[in-house]
Amino acid sequence: MNLVVVGLSHHTSSVELRERLHFAEKMLPGALMNLREQLGDAGVVILSTCNRVEIYASTEASSGEAHDTIRKFISDWHKVPESEFGEALYEYDGRETIGHLFRVTSSLDSLVVGEAQILGQVHDAFLVAQTEQCADKVTHALFQRAFAIAKDVRTRTSISAGKVSVGSVAVDLAVSIFSDLAGKTVMVIGSGKMGEVTLRSLVTRGVDRVLLVNRSQEKAMSLAERVRGEPLPLDALEENLPRADIVISSTAAPQYLLTPAHFHRALRKRGNEPFCVIDIAVPRNIDPAVKKMDNVYLYDVDDLQSVAAANLDARRQEVDQCMKRIEEGVDQFWGWLQGLVAEPTIVSLAANLHAIRERELHKSLNQLPNLGENDEAVREIMTALSKRITNSMLHQPTVQLKREVADQDPSKVLAFAKRLFGIKEG
């Protein structure tokens, strides 16, 4: 069984490329089933967020074959030639796959190290795979272990203390531009998890007014009440745009919500007073052509990296502690995974020894004199004794085989064990 991951992230690709390869939530069931069939009933999980697109698989295919299949799947599914994204991909197998997922889930690979949202995103991705029956025994164990380590990292370190979200970094950027948010009006488009985190950060920075725009008026009103904001329906976006000094957008809309034409009209109404616009959605909510406009300063999620880098420098010591815990987890899971390779041989060894036990027990019982009414009791005692002896003899070879396949070439270790014990697996 091979574990592989193929993906790209903010470390290796632009937001434009991630946008083209993004898997919308409604796409996931079909994509999972399609890829699982191509890999031969493998376990498959697709993780697609604003900062990464990653495909994890456990498969009987070789790592190279699995990587090739996944690359072709990405290209065919999105109708994007591999030549346009191949250089941005990273491909891992075995221990590297485990370590990568553990780092991602623990937010050590995030744009904002320590942010909490990624754990929920990975959990949601796994849940879709599980619901579609695309998560096998190995992927199920891998992701459950990743969740446990991520929670452990947050408990045992201070990696998530303070301002650790993409939303808070977006607000930091706005502060760096305006120096002071007092007296400013901020429009937040979207009231999902990202929008809510952004709102909380804005309120602590002293913004004067918050305009909360959302497709669901009920959801917008609920969130607006908690931050004393003004809820607005999505169809009121353009008419209220001139009121905003800062616009922060994070929705799952499949098309642009704001274009240069919207901002041209808004600038005329506000006497060319400048906008600070931060688009933290993928796919993006705001047409990137807006960047070319005067008096509109548009930043996307990739532009937040320099602000996030300062955040990482402040957390370097915590990152080192987290990495130690993750390496421990990788060792433990790798040992378990390699132990699975030895299971068929261990099962065969146990079957062989118990067959010998039963044969010799039968011979011994037949040699005993007639014990009359005590006959059944003696049989039970001798049977139990023979099982305890056989299981005791199995213990050390079983433990040692699992250790050896974790540290050495499993095929050589298992071949030797089969010769040593005369095992012939069907």
Element (H, E) at 334: helix 316-367
- Whether 119 and 107 have beta carbons less than 8 Å apart is answered as yes
Contact between 357 and 23 (Cβ < 8 Å):
no
Residues near 259 by Cβ (< 8 Å), separated by ≥ 6? 286, 287, 289, 290
- Of the candidates 262, 268, 264, 308, the one whose C-alpha atom is nearest the C-alpha of residue 285 is 262
Least Cα distance to 136 among 224, 40, 219 occurs for 40
- Give the three-class secondary structure for 188: strand
Using an 8 Å Cβ cutoff, are 243 and 210 in contact? no
Residue at token pair 């602590």 = 204
* Helices and strands counted in the chain (H then E): 15, 10
| CB-based contact 353:390 (threshold 8 Å) | yes
Q: How far is CA 298 from CA 78, 142, 156, 257, 349, in A?
A: 27, 39, 38, 14, 66
Q: Give CA separation, 120 vs 5, 49, 151, in Å.
A: 19, 11, 11
The closest of 70, 63, 89 to 31, measured between CA atoms, is 70
- DSSP bridge partners of 398: none
The H or E element that residue 331 is part of is helix 316-367
- Cα angle for residues 94, 108, 324 (degrees, 5° grid): 70
SS3 of residue 274 by DSSP: coil
The closest alpha carbon to 10, from 321, 287, 308, belongs to: 308
Cβ 364 vs Cβ 382: under 8 Å: yes
Residues across the chain: 426
Catalytic residues: 50
Phi-psi region of 254 (alpha: psi -120 to 50; beta: other; left: phi over 0): alpha
CA torsion sign, 198 to 199 to 204 to 206? positive
